Structure 1
Amino acid sequence: MIPTDPQDRDILAAEYVLGTLDARAAAELDAALPGDAALRAAIREWEARLAPLMVLAAPEAPPPDLWDRIERALPGAPRPAPAPKRRGWLDLWRGWAIGASAVAAGLAVVLVTRPAPEPPRLMTVLLTQRDQPAWVVEADPSGRLHLASVTPRRLEEGRAMQLWSLAPGETAPTSLGLIPPEGRLTVNTGGVRPEPGMLIEISLEPPGGSPTGRPTGPIIFIGRLTAAGSS
C-alpha cells in the first residue's frame, strides 16, 4: 500500500530510484504512478539528486566467460565432455611438473609486465543550501580538474562565478578561473596537484573575477575531494 505520510512517500520514492524495493512493492508503485502526480514528482527529484553520483561508479566489464556459462545453463545445452581416463602416477607427476613450470613462467611475465595500479579518482559533489547536487568535480590522473553543472544557473547581471581550490595545510585558496555560462570547465591546476581533502569552492565575483586574487564575494558552493568509492 502506498503510504500517505510525506516523509514515508519520499523514502519510498528514493528506494524506487535506488532499485532496493522488492518486486511486489515496485509493481505496486508502478501501478500507482499514473494517478499520483506528487509521487511522480518525488521520483523525478530523487533521479535528479542521484544522477550526478553515477559517475562515481567505475565501469566494470562482465567476465569473459559469462555468455558461455549462460548458454550452458539453458535447457537443451550440450552436456560437457566426459572426463578423461585416469592416468597413472607417472603421467600425473609429469603433467604437474610441466604445468607448474608454465604457471611459474607465466606468473613471472605477469609480475614484470603488469602495469602499476592507477591512482583512485578524486571527486566531490557540491551541494546547494538545500542539499541538492549542483556541481560535480572530478580530478583525473593527469592532475586536471573537470567541473560540470548538474542544473544550469542564471546569474544576475554584473556577477560571475569563480572556481577555487584550497589544499590541506594551506591558508589561502588558489584561483582556478571563471566558470563559463554553460557550466562546464576543465582546468590544469599547475603546481597545485589535487589530493584527498582538498577543498573546492565557488564564489560570486565581479565579471572579470576577483581583483585581489582571493575570494571577495560569498562562497556559494563548497566541497572536499575524496577518493571515489570511499566512505
Structure 2
Amino acid sequence: MTGAADTDLPGGWEAAAAEYVLGLLAEDEVSAFERRLAQDRDLEQDVAAWQEYFATLTAPIEDVAAPPQVLRRLEAQLFGRARRSLVGQIMPYLLGAVTAGAIAWTVNVSGLLGFDDDPDLWADLETPSRGLVLLAHYAPSSQTFMVRRDAGDYPEGRSLEIWMIPEAGDTPVSIGLVAQDGLTEIPVSDEIAAQLPGAGIAISDEPEGGSPTGQATGPVISLGQMAPRDE
C-alpha cells in the first residue's frame, strides 16, 4: 500500500483511504484525495482494499431496522451540525451489503470512530430456586434493552415482566416482558434510557400479558443493577 512520507493529509494516504471509504474526509480533503487517486495506482488499490475490509466486518450481521435516533445521535456526536447522512456516505462503499442498523453497530462495536461516552450496561439476573439465569443488556448505540435467558424454564401461563428502579427514586417503571423464546429486544424511550445507568432491574412473575395495574403484582424473583462491564 502507499506510504505516508509524501502526504499532506493527516495520517498518510493509506489512512486517508480508509476515511475516504467511510465518508469521513472534509470536503477540501476529498478534493485533494480524489486528485491523487486519479493518478496513483497504489492508492486505488488501498481504496479497494478498505472497501473489501469494511464489507467483511458487516457481512455476517443480520439486517435490522435502525431507529431514527441512532443516526441523529451519530451525526450530532460526529459533526455537531446537519450534514449529508452518514448512511448516504458509507453505503456506496459497502456495496449495499448492510443496512443503516448494521452500520451503526459496526461503528459502535468496532470502535472505528473512537468514542465511548455511553458504554453498554449489563446486569446478571439469577433465581437459583427456579434455576433461572437471565442476562440484561442495554445498548446505547441502538437505545435497545435486551434480556437473554441462559437457563431455566419460562413459567407456564405466566409472564416475566422487567422493571427499572431508577437510582434517584424507588418507583419501578415497566420496561416490558421477557420473551418466552429467543432474545428479548425492547426499544426504550429517551426518558428511560437516561435513567438506566446505575438503575436497579427487577424481574417479577406476573399474570399472562403482564401486570394489570402498572406496578408489580407478583413476586419479584430476581434483582440486579445496570453497570458497565470490564472488557
**TM-score, structure 2 normalization:** 0.47
Structure with higher Rg: it is: 1
